[in-house]
Amino acid sequence: MTDFLGYQERDSIVHRLNATSKLLAFLLLTVAGILSFDIRFLLLLTAFAGLLLVLSKISWQSIRILVYLTVVFALLNLILIYVFAPQYGVELYQTKTVLIGSGDYALTSQQLFYELLVLLKYCFSVPLSLAFLLTTQPSQLAAGLNRIGVSYKVAYAFSLTLRYLPTVQNEFQTTRKVQEARGFALGKKASLAKKVVASTRLLLALAFSTLEKVETISDAMALRRFGKKKKRTWYYSQPWRVGDWFTLAVAILLLLLALFLVSVDGGRFWNPFV
């Protein structure tokens, strides 16, 4: 079983980048993606994020579950947007082109266009997040966060969270096998009542096991007097190279492009219907 959202060591361009430069680029690109609703810019960001994921050499098996869950969540979000605000696109673009139906729930080109923009937000953010999280060692990420001004306690807590995700996954698989060996199956042939009971037992066992490990880690950190000083040094320290400055420059240019489009379009939304 491949680690879920765990660091994957590869020999790729993205892996060799400094953790601080990747963090800054990730934040800048995220802000740019949130800021703009220009479909031209979002397509550019989506292509760029997809390229980063390909260059990262991340295996499909390790991310497919997350991708499937994201697709389900994105489709559910799009459906709910249409259910609760079927004419929001019309309000945004101040024009109405009916494709199917009539009344409040008439399907319009403007609504479809707006929901396409929302979908592109997912298509951009998920590959970018995966390319960042799966190519950055937690210790290097913590050092990078501390270098840009984040408290080392917060940075270390974030690092521990990322380190613990694969452990939780492995613990889940082990606990599940133990429960199945005791007769609490979660397979397709089990009835709904048995699945509910087995799932409850599984989650409770996983919760107690997680709490026990958290207490162990907390005690170990307390014995090492973690947090007693205002500053700390880091074992993982990466020098900045040409690729780091280039990555940061590209991220800054894309953010400036987003700001430029907002000023040119007269707002965050580009209106192709005028």
pLDDT tens readout for residues 179-223: 667 666 555 565 666 667 666 777 777 777 767 776 777 777 666
Predicted local confidence at residue 189, as pLDDT: 60
Render 210-261 in DSSP notation, one character per residue. HHHHHHHHHHHHHHTTTTSSS----S------HHHHHHHHHHHHHHHHHHHH
For residue 37, list its beta bridge partners. Answer: 269
Predicted local confidence at residue 165, as pLDDT: 67
Averaged pLDDT for residues 68-75? 89
**Burial label, 223 (beta-carbon count in 10 A; 0-12, 13-18, 19+):** exposed
Predicted local confidence at residue 41, as pLDDT: 94
Q: Which range scores top for mean pLDDT: 71-75, 145-149, 170-174, 224-228?
A: 71-75
Predicted local confidence at residue 231, as pLDDT: 75
Query: Which is higher by pLDDT, 70 or 165?
Result: 70
pLDDT tens readout for residues 121-176: 999 999 999 998 888 888 777 777 777 777 777 777 777 777 766 666 677 777 77
Q: Number of helices and strands (H, E) in the chain?
A: 10, 2
pTM metric for this prediction: 0.77
Report d(CA 67, CA 63) in Å as an integer: 6
Report d(CA 217, CA 172) in Å as an integer: 19
Predicted local confidence at residue 120, as pLDDT: 93
Query: What mean pLDDT is reported for the chain?
Result: 82
Averaged pLDDT for residues 80-101? 90
Q: Are 23 and 147 in contact (CB under 8 A)?
A: no
Report d(CA 106, CA 207) in Å as an integer: 47
pLDDT band for position 235 (cuts 50, 70, 90): low
